[in-house]
Chains A and B, each alone.
Chain A
Amino acid sequence: QAAWCELPSRALLVLTSQRGVQMYESDGSTMVFWHALDVPELPAAHSVFARGIAAAGGRFICVGTSFGAVLVFDIPPKGTNVTLSEVLEQHRDPITDIAAEQGRAPDGAGDLVTADDSGTLCLWSTGEEFTLLGKIPGSGSTCSSVALWNGIVAAGYGNGQIRLWEAGSGRIRAQVSAHARWIYALDLAPLTGKLLSGAEDSFVHVWKLSRNPDTDDIEIQHCHAECVTDTQVCGARFCDPAGDTFAVTGYDLSEILCYGPA
């Protein structure tokens, strides 16, 4: 996987693989840091890899592993002195995705969510020491991707469903039969609360999340659908913070497709 991690002081390019984690300066010029995973001599039945990347708490980069552990790296404002600050061990299955709060979290809600193969979600509050605020158990389907906005957890599942959870209470607030196949990617546009979902069924959907601060009603509406003919969508990302444009990648596709307003 590859992800840009934007922190107040710097932006780093983080790559995960079967060997471990690598961090590069945003222009790709130097490798700032690399963390090797414990790879056994001979291949074991259980795969070893790092997966799930997010910048959190203004100074950390969190990376998930196939062991279920989440590595928390403390990033200095400059230089290569990256240290492993903490290892969070609440998941028992391989981590699939990690997301940090991109809006404003209501009181009591965490600012980080981690997801795993079993569909279990963990909510955390970041800091010198990360605290587990809540756990949402899985219900048989892998949670392949997550996003967190204004205390709403948006989760995409292997059975094509999107679910919205309230971060503070851990309660389910919406259930969408969104796709006919495995959801590969979710992305969020923080300015508007637009949610992008891409799946193996060739479809990309744009949704609108909303949260009423008085009534605490959480809603999701369908805005737009695109069908990328004969392509299993593997990646989907908004290209601007308002979510007016987005880019899509797919299996066996050597192009990046960009969609925008007509």
Chain B
Amino acid sequence: MSARTLPLLFLNLGGEMLYILDQRLRAQSIPGEKARKGERWGGRRARSLFVFAVMNDIITTMFNKKFMEELFKPQDLYSKKALRTVYDRLAHASIMRLNQASMDKLYDLMTMAFKYQVLLCPRPRDILLVTFNHLDAIKDFISDSPGILNQVDETFRRLIETYNCLSDGEFQLIRQTLLVFFQDMHIRVSIFLKDKVQNSNGHFVLPISGPVPWGTEVPGLIRIFNHKGVEVKRAEFTTAGNYVTPQREGSFELYGDRVLKLGTNMYSVTRPVETHTSGSSKNLASQAKENIAPNPLAKEELNFLARLLGGLDIQKPAGGETGFRLNLFTTDEEEEHAAQSRPEELSYKVINIEATQEPARRAELSRILGELDVAEPRPGSAEKGEDLLALMDGL
């Protein structure tokens, strides 16, 4: 398995998360207390300010310099549980709050979307183009903030430096590492089902038509050479496939046309995305085995990275009244129902661990936390939320 897979996994899943959050934030009106306050001075403006603030905060956290440095170190992939915790923390790096059910759904959507992209990549190295598509979109989200834009560009350059020189074989190993991570995940996503990209059994549709990967020839030709190397015969064979030659190759530079559509934003405000976690799935057995078996290494796995993000995290507000709660479902009742009816086998069993480790690790952690320099001081989400509203009150 490749020790260079984690950055690609993290950045692409993060990208998908941002697409979904952006869509939901724009689609959902501000609930409860805040809504009443918000309506006072024009819903739309307030909403876009919230969207901007949330996206800004998450992207800043995601591309934190120290975090990126740690991410790019050669290492094994995290377990599903450990990775889920990282995204839990990331999603809460702003004033936005998500209930368990919404967070579960968010994670389901993110993972199935990226699994689809990895599976359908024409060449193993096209995974890099998918990553670049996500980063291009992220840069678009924060195009007005030069500080964060710089951070993202830095990461972009780092990706190019680390991956552009890898061979096809190494990319295939990375791809295989990712596919093993996503193996047996068959959560049905309504936007995929509607677009006929996923079957009702949760398996993705693999087209046998369209452009062949760059560097591959359309199947069908047999060429025979004699012992002198001269072509002496040609023959053709036909199959059910219907392939064509590709137009051009995608760009692997900092800027350029990626050509590949995988990894671009497929959500729009008007298309709500649902997942179906009930229903039969013959793979539930293997899923159950994966999630229920106790993981003695969980504590080891939730290492540095998650704690690093935890260090940037805002204190959980008492009572949970403050902060802006995002619902990934269309109504609160739906969210409640989803939480109650989620099959046991699909629960992520997020582990919350206090940073109490052996002295050596604690020392390292404290040292890094001490050195962490976040752009804006973060006294606590409660104050942050109030600050923003106070700001709006003054408008």
**Across the interface, do B169 and A142 meet the contact criterion of CB distance under 8 Å?**
yes
Q: Which residues of B contact A161 (CB under 8 A)?
A: 216-217
Contact of B168 among A142, A178, A203 (CB under 8 A): A142
Q: In whole angstroms, what is the CA distance A44 to B215 when docked?
A: 30
Which residue of A has the minimal Cβ distance to B211?
A: A180
Which residue of B has the minimal Cβ distance to A223?
A: B237
Which residue of A has the minimal Cβ distance to B177?
A: A47
Q: In whole angstroms, what is the CA distance A177 to B173 when docked?
A: 23
**Across the interface, do A174 and B224 meet the contact criterion of CB distance under 8 Å?**
yes
Contact residues, A199-235 vs B (CB, 8 A): 201-203, 205, 216-222, 225, 227, 229-232
**Across the interface, do B223 and A45 meet the contact criterion of CB distance under 8 Å?**
no
Given known A-B contacts A47-B173, A173-B224, A225-B239, A230 and B215 have beta carbons under 8 A apart: no
Q: Is B122 an interface residue (CB 8 A)?
A: yes
* Least CB distance, B79 to chain A, in whole angstroms: 15
Contact of A251 among B183, B219, B229 (CB under 8 A): B183
Q: Is B203 an interface residue (CB 8 A)?
A: yes
Q: In whole angstroms, what is the CA distance A176 to B235 when docked?
A: 9
Q: In whole angstroms, what is the CA distance A18 to B177 when docked?
A: 12
Contact of B219 among A45, A140, A180 (CB under 8 A): A180
Which residue of A has the minimal Cβ distance to B286?
A: A254
**Across the interface, do B240 and A227 meet the contact criterion of CB distance under 8 Å?**
yes
Contact residues, B21-50 vs A (CB, 8 A): none
Q: Is B374 an interface residue (CB 8 A)?
A: no
Which residue of A has the minimal Cβ distance to B198?
A: A230
Q: In whole angstroms, what is the CA distance A202 to B240 when docked?
A: 11
Q: Is B259 an interface residue (CB 8 A)?
A: no
Q: Is A243 an interface residue (CB 8 A)?
A: no
Q: In whole angstroms, what is the CA distance A229 to B205 when docked?
A: 8
Q: In whole angstroms, what is the CA distance A117 to B124 when docked?
A: 13
Segment at the interface with B among A28-36, A76-84, A164-172: A164-172
**Across the interface, do A93 and B167 meet the contact criterion of CB distance under 8 Å?**
yes
Q: Is A238 an interface residue (CB 8 A)?
A: no
Q: Which residues of A contact B208 (CB under 8 A)?
A: 180, 201-203, 227
Q: Is B74 an interface residue (CB 8 A)?
A: yes
Q: B197-239 CB contact bits vs A (8 Å, 1 = yes)? A: 0010001111010001101111111111111010001010101
**Across the interface, do B226 and A177 meet the contact criterion of CB distance under 8 Å?**
no
Given known A-B contacts A142-B167, A227-B239, A217 and B216 have beta carbons under 8 A apart: no
Size of the chain A interface, CB-CB below 8 angstroms: 55
**Across the interface, do A252 and B235 meet the contact criterion of CB distance under 8 Å?**
no
Which residue of B has the minimal Cβ distance to A45?
A: B74
**Across the interface, do B282 and A254 meet the contact criterion of CB distance under 8 Å?**
yes
Q: A16-60 CB contact bits vs B (8 Å, 1 = yes)? A: 001000000000000000000000001111010100000000000
Q: Is A158 an interface residue (CB 8 A)?
A: yes
Which residue of B has the minimal Cβ distance to A162?
A: B222
Q: Which of B179, B203, B206 has the most CB of A within 10 A?
A: B206
Q: In whole angstroms, what is the CA distance A117 to B168 when docked?
A: 8
Given known A-B contacts A18-B1, A141-B215, A169-B227, A203 and B241 have beta carbons under 8 A apart: yes
Which residue of A has the minimal Cβ distance to B183?
A: A252
Q: Is B283 an interface residue (CB 8 A)?
A: yes
Q: A152-193 CB contact bits vs B (8 Å, 1 = yes)? A: 000000111100001001011111111111100000000000
The 9 A-B residue pairs with the shortest CB-CB distance in the complex, in nearest-first order? A117-B169, A222-B237, A43-B3, A177-B217, A142-B169, A43-B74, A225-B239, A175-B223, A159-B216
A-side interface residues toward B, CB under 8 Å? 18, 42-45, 47, 49, 93-94, 96, 116-118, 140-142, 144, 158-161, 166, 169, 171-182, 201-203, 205, 216-222, 225, 227, 229-232, 251-252, 254
Q: Known contacts A93-B169, A118-B167; can you find 6 more A-B pairs with CB under 8 A?
A: A177-B221, A177-B222, A180-B243, A203-B241, A216-B227, A231-B206
Could you list 23 A-B pairs, sorted by A, with CB under 8 Å? A43-B76, A49-B1, A116-B169, A118-B167, A118-B169, A142-B168, A142-B169, A158-B168, A158-B172, A159-B216, A172-B229, A175-B223, A180-B241, A181-B122, A201-B241, A203-B219, A222-B237, A225-B240, A229-B206, A231-B206, A232-B119, A252-B203, A254-B286
